[in-house]
């Protein structure tokens, strides 16, 4: 009898060991997620010629699923190929052009320069339409923490946010000549919290920006270039961020993980994409020069598939989406 029990126990142990690698967890049985999924692509930016899109990219080599495909996966990243990449707007000829990423990168209106952030300072680098001249990088700021450069449509000025000369350490709106001279603070109202992410209107007479509220949220405001006549555009009690003037009287922005559009009057709000537009390391989207398409990063922190963290294109008129890059 004891011998039969011993054999039965041995069979059970063998069975358990054989099946150990094929256990499939149901979604509700998954272990707690201790790290969010990684987004290989970020900061897409259309070149003014409408033919190129730049972006940061750290290739994703593979994903394993130790707890089953319904649960958190393990991503294997190829850091040796990380950098700033270019792709044709039709999805062809994806190639690495720099061996490092560019934070908050944005092209000049003529496409001959790219402004970006590194180490909390703003730089610009020449671009000839094919390659960057890495030997001619110009440092535009040298004190404080400076982020989110945005070119004026004539290319002569850059607006940004900075904590320079800010006694409380908060960032506010500044402006400088595109060569880094004539820096001046446009808006300083610490009683309202930080004021960030400024961007010029086409006529350069207005600037759209975000103001942080006491609650954990931010709202869009428009000011005159002089810093006067502030007007609130949104009041959503969520993080409305990365605003950009679209066409006459409209603003495209990122809100609650989606791309939205609204009139400068605060009316006609519309959500252009479902939730799942990622914002990390720079702008989550970029509008094409002809304003027909939006390139954006499709990303959810709990998505462990190869489609996650890729670049997509939204046709604003037809509302059709197409995948631009792949893992």
Task: Write the CATH number for 146.
Answer: 2.120.10.30
pLDDT above 70 for 169: yes
Predicted confidence at residue 191, as pLDDT, reads: 80
State the DSSP string of 265-281.
TS---EE-S-S-B---S
**9 in any annotated domain:** no
pLDDT above 60 for 19: no
Q: Please give the distance of CA 314 from its chain centroid, rounded to a whole number.
A: 16
**157 in any annotated domain:** yes
Predicted confidence at residue 24, as pLDDT, reads: 45
**7 in any annotated domain:** no
SS3 state at 74: strand
Average pLDDT, whole number, for the chain?
89
**30 in any annotated domain:** no
pLDDT in tens, 92-114: 999 999 999 999 999 999 999 99
Predicted confidence at residue 151, as pLDDT, reads: 97
Judge whether 44 and 296 are in contact, CB under 8 Å: yes
Judge whether 231 and 223 are in contact, CB under 8 Å: yes
Phi, psi of 182 (to 5 degrees): 55, 45
pLDDT above 80 for 21: no
pLDDT above 60 for 249: yes
**29 in any annotated domain:** no
The model's confidence at residue 16, banded by pLDDT at 50, 70 and 90, is very low
* CA-wise closest residue to 103 among 115, 85, 88: 115
**E-only strand ranges, 89-230:** 95-98, 103-107, 113-118, 121-126, 138-139, 146-151, 157-162, 172-177, 184-187, 195-200, 206-212, 218-224
CA dihedral over 195, 199, 202, 204, signed as positive or negative: positive
Predicted confidence at residue 282, as pLDDT, reads: 67
Judge whether 304 and 73 are in contact, CB under 8 Å: yes
The total domain count for the chain is 1
The model's confidence at residue 280, banded by pLDDT at 50, 70 and 90, is low
Compute the distance between CA of residue 74 and CA of residue 35 in angstroms, rounded to an integer.
10
* CA-wise closest residue to 309 among 322, 325, 321, 287: 325
The model's confidence at residue 78, banded by pLDDT at 50, 70 and 90, is very high
* CA-wise closest residue to 294 among 317, 266, 325: 317
Predicted confidence at residue 168, as pLDDT, reads: 85
Predicted confidence at residue 48, as pLDDT, reads: 98
The model's confidence at residue 184, banded by pLDDT at 50, 70 and 90, is very high
For residue 213, the enclosing domain spans 42-323
**185 in any annotated domain:** yes
**135 in any annotated domain:** yes
pLDDT above 70 for 133: yes
Compute the distance between CA of residue 190 and CA of residue 10 in angstroms, rounded to an integer.
72
Within a 10 A sphere around the Cβ of 23, how many other Cβ atoms? Answer: 10
* Residues paired with residue 121 on neighbouring β-strands, in sequence order: 118
What percent of the chain is modeled with pLDDT above 90? 76
Mean per-residue pLDDT, 5-25: 39
The model's confidence at residue 247, banded by pLDDT at 50, 70 and 90, is confident
pLDDT above 70 for 10: no
SS3 state at 20: helix
Query: What is the helix (H) or strand (E) element at residue 18, kind and residue range?
Result: helix 2-19
pLDDT in tens, 136-166: 999 999 999 999 999 999 999 999 999 999 9
**6 in any annotated domain:** no
Predicted confidence at residue 240, as pLDDT, reads: 94
Task: Tell me the Ramachandran region of residue 191: left when phi exceeds 0, alpha when psi lies from -120 to 50, beta otherwise.
Answer: alpha
Predicted confidence at residue 13, as pLDDT, reads: 36
Predicted confidence at residue 3, as pLDDT, reads: 46
Predicted confidence at residue 278, as pLDDT, reads: 84
Alpha-carbon distances, residue 28 vs 21, 107, 159 (angstroms): 19, 45, 47
Mean per-residue pLDDT, 235-252: 91
* Residues paired with residue 175 on neighbouring β-strands, in sequence order: 159, 184
Judge whether 10 and 249 are in contact, CB under 8 Å: no
The model's confidence at residue 26, banded by pLDDT at 50, 70 and 90, is low
Mean per-residue pLDDT, 245-262: 93
Compute the distance between CA of residue 300 and CA of residue 282 in angstroms, rounded to an integer.
16
pLDDT above 80 for 7: no
Predicted confidence at residue 25, as pLDDT, reads: 44
Predicted confidence at residue 281, as pLDDT, reads: 57
């Amino acid at each position: 009898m004891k011998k039969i029990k011993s054999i039965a126990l041995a069979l059970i142990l063998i069975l358990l060991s054989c099946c150990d690698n094929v256990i499939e967890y149901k979604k509700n049985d998954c272990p707690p997620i201790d790290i969010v999924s990684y987004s290989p692509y970020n900061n897409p930016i259309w070149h003014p010629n409408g033919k190129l899109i730049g972006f940061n990219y750290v290739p994703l080599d593979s994903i394993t699923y130790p707890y089953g495909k319904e649960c958190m996966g393990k991503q294997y990243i190829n850091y040796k190929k990380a950098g700033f990449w270019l792709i044709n707007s039709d999805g062809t000829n994806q190639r690495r052009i720099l061996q490092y990423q560019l934070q908050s990168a944005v092209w000049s209106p003529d496409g001959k320069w790219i402004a970006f952030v590194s180490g909390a300072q703003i730089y610009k680098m020449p671009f000839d339409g094919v390659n960057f001249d890495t030997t001619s990088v110009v440092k535009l700021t040298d004190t404080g923490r400076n982020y989110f450069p945005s070119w004026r449509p004539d290319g002569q000025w850059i607006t940004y946010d900075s904590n320079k000369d800010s006694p409380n350490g908060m960032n506010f709106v500044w402006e400088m000549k595109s060569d880094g001279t004539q820096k001046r603070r446009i808006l300083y109202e610490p009683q309202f919290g930080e004021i960030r992410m400024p961007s010029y209107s086409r006529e350069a007479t207005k600037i759209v920006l975000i103001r942080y509220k006491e609650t954990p949220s931010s709202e869009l405001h428009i000011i005159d270039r002089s810093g006067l006549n502030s007007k609130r555009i949104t009041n959503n009690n969520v993080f409305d961020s990365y605003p950009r003037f679209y066409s006459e009287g409209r603003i495209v922005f990122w809100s609650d993980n989606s791309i939205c559009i609204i009139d400068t009057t605060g009316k006609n709000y519309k959500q252009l994409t479902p939730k799942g537009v990622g914002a990390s390391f720079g702008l989550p989207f970029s509008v094409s020069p002809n304003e027909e398409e939006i390139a954006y990063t499709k990303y959810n922190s709990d998505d462990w598939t190869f489609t996650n963290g890729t670049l997509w294109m939204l046709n604003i008129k037809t509302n059709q989406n197409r995948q631009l890059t792949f893992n």
